[in-house]
Every structure is written in structure tokens, then in C-alpha cells.
Amino acid sequence: MIKAVVGASYNSRNNIKAQEYGTHFETGEKNVLYDFPKGSDHAFDYKGGIIVEPVKNHLITLSASKRSRFASQKERYSSRFGSQVPNPDLKSEYTWAYDITYSAKLGNKFNYEVSGFINNVKDAIFARTVGALDNGNPVSQNVNIGKAVFQGYELAFGYMPIKNMTLGANYSYIDMKDKTEGSNEKFTDVPNHKLMAYTKLEVPKLRSTLNVNMEFYGKRYTTSTGDQAPEFTLVNAKLSVNIVKGVNFDFGVRNLLDRDYYLSYGYPKEGRSFITALRYHF
């Protein structure tokens, strides 16, 4: 069986007003209310794909698309409490994206998926490191770079070895490169490697469900000049007990092993934390 899918969309954005009170991002004048340039944008996007089912429960999907992403208000105007220089003239980025995916389901117990992708990006939105604060934390500014390539692959599976128990995992790898001639800046905040695995165990006699998951994140660049945050692994758990019909008690632990980690230099994340909740379903 072969299916074809096509689609198209048109989007536009027109800013009406953008203001901020504080230090003017261009003149340096303090304690003033000032206007940012407003700007507008529009884009016509389209997509085509083919879905092939060579045998039952096995699918191969190939797609190509032209995508647009408008620069957000936060990316254009936010100063992030002094850690970012606003760029009201930031343009939108445009991507030619190609994807191939193979997915299969084997009986009622096992399913898996393999996917590969290449994105050729024009005017990629990029957080360039432009300075540092007095405490040494980097200051960045969102800018457009000429060309970039994002490529990688993803793997995932789900398995039910016994009744009331589910196992699963997914892994992704992404390589983000600045392809502008004469430039080799680093894309920030995205790890090359990411792995997530989970176990879900249901105990009907106790009206309880236990979820345990593990998250692994590889190294990521924190500045465009090459500074990196180390890899880290988190283990989380959540127990949910049905007390009476419609009422559940939840108890969870995040970062069970109390690992030290950070995503941005100078901003460590929380250690082991606990959460409890009482939920009622109407």
C-alpha cells in the first residue's frame, strides 16, 4: 500500500507595539520608556510525503518540506535580566527538511521506530556570545547566520514483557553545524546525545502505578565560542495510588541520585526534590 500526503500553509505576523522600561538597548540611557522597532513577516510553507506499507504493521515514511520559524518576541526583545542583548531586527529562519522513518509493530508486545533527518537552514537563529557580566556569566545576542545544517537520527522502542509492565526507551543524536563560509561558531543549549528510558508497573490489587524513568543528556555548548556543560544523568520516580474512585495520591522524586548539573554557566539546577499531590477526576 502506498499513500501520498501534501500540504501547504501561509502565515503572517505584524507587531503592533513593543516597549520596555529600563536602559535603552542602543543609547544606553537609563530609566526610560522606549519603543522597539515593530517589524512584520510572512511565509508560505509546503510539504510532501510518501507512506509505504510493504507488509502489515510495517511503515516507511519519506517526506520533504519547506518550513519557516518566525523569531519569537522573547528572542527579539528580551534582555533576560541583562544576560542578553535585544535584537529587534532578528529575521525568521527557513528550512528545507528531509526525513525518512521506518516503524514496525510486532504483535501486541513490541514496537520500534528508526528515523533519520537532514535540515538545511537559511538565516538560522543563533545565540552568539558577545560579552560577559561582572560575575563572568556570558552575555549573548540572537542573530541570523547565513547557513546551517542540522542532521541526526532517532531510535525508539516499547515493550510489554508481562501483563501490567511496560518498558520503553528513545535515543536521539543531532549534529548542528554553522556552514557559513569562514565561520565555525557553536550552537548552544542542545546536547548532541539524549537518551530516555522508562518502566511502568501497574499493581491492580493495590490500585497503584509506579513509574521510573532515566534521562541522559550529553555535553552541550553554553557559549558560541566553545564552552561546554558536562553530560549528566537523572533518575526520577513517581508512585500513584488510587485511594477511592476518582481520587489519586501521587508521590514523586526528581533527581533521585541528587546529581549536580547545569544547563547554563552559573545557574546550577536543583538537586533531589520531592512532590506530593492529591488529584480528583470528575
Q: Which among 128, 116, 231, 230 has a CA at the least distance from the CA of 178?
A: 128
* Averaged pLDDT score across all residues of the chain: 91
Cell of 41: 513577516
pLDDT tens for 155-210 read: 999 999 999 999 999 999 999 999 888 788 899 999 999 999 999 999 998 899 99
Residue at grid coordinates 524513568: 213
Query: Looking at residue 84, what DSSP letter applies?
Result: B
Q: Measured at the alpha carbon of residue 130, what is the angle toward residues 177 and 16, in degrees to the nearest 5?
A: 90
Q: What is the mean pLDDT of residues 145-162?
A: 95
pLDDT tens for 222-235 read: 988 888 999 999 99
The percentage of residues in the chain with a pLDDT greater than 70, rounded to a whole number, is: 100
Grouping H, G, I as helix, E, B as strand and the rest as coil, residue 207 is coil
Q: Are strands 228-229 and 220-221 parallel, antiparallel or unpaired?
A: antiparallel
* Rounded-to-integer distance, Cα 115 and Cα 109, Å: 21
> What's the domain count of the chain?
1
Give the domain range for residue 17.
Answer: 2-280
CATH code of 48's domain: 2.40.170.20
Grouping H, G, I as helix, E, B as strand and the rest as coil, residue 204 is helix
Cell of 24: 535603552
72 and 91 Cβ atoms separated by less than 8 Å: no
Number of H helices, E strands in the chain: 1, 18
